[in-house]
Amino acid sequence: MRTPKVGTVMLDGTVYAGISPKTGNMLFAMPEDAPDLLDYKQSHDCLSEMNKNKSFGYSDWRIPVVQELEVIFENRQKGGLSGTFNEAGKNYTKKFEINPPGNRTAPGWYRASDWAGYYSTKCKLFNDGTEMGMLDIDRVSVRYVREGGRPDKVTVLKNSVSHAARALQSKISSRLH
């Protein structure tokens, strides 16, 4: 098996988003954002529930680190990722546009798991790529991710499975004839 093309919708329904710059492993994203804009606590509560219920068959979902969020941002228009992100957000980095803290919903901003400072995490605006820290009480979009194996190891595993499948098919075929 080759590394999937970025944006490929996998058989399990997840979308291949690229390679994690942090780990070198394949990165798979949920096909959609979390259902609502979530503050920090809500995003972790939702994550715990997804993992408990094995969403898409997995219990290792997480919030991406900022480097992975950058990969997803760069690939947001490819294949199964295209058209699935909220890009209607507003750039809050200009002081006159900031609402009072705690009164901010920020559609189009995506939360990373990295801390940006006291009670804030790094976030990225998906219509222009702006990054900034958002307070934990700010409600933003979340796209959960999980890692697959390293691309080179997936090839080895696929070849091993193919070899085992051919051996089993040969054994069954010989019994039928």
Can you give the pLDDT of all 177 residues of the chain as single tens digits?
478 999 999 999 999 999 999 999 999 999 999 989 999 999 999 999 999 999 999 999 999 999 999 999 999 999 999 999 998 876 665 443 445 555 577 888 999 999 887 888 999 999 999 898 888 888 999 999 999 987 665 443 343 344 444 544 554 445 444
- The domain total for the chain is 1
Task: Assess if residue 157 is contained within a domain.
Answer: yes
Instruction: Tell me whether residue 4 is in a domain.
Output: no
Please write down the long-range contacts of 74-77, taking CB distance under 8 Å and 24 or more positions apart. 74/18, 75/6, 75/7, 75/17, 75/18, 76/126
Domain assignment present for residue 21? The answer is yes
Q: Is residue 85 part of a domain?
A: yes
Residue 1 domain-assigned (yes or no):
no
Q: Read off the pTM.
A: 0.78
- Residues 47, 9: Cα–Cα separation, whole Å: 21
Residue 147 included in any domain: yes
Q: What domain range includes position 134?
A: 15-176
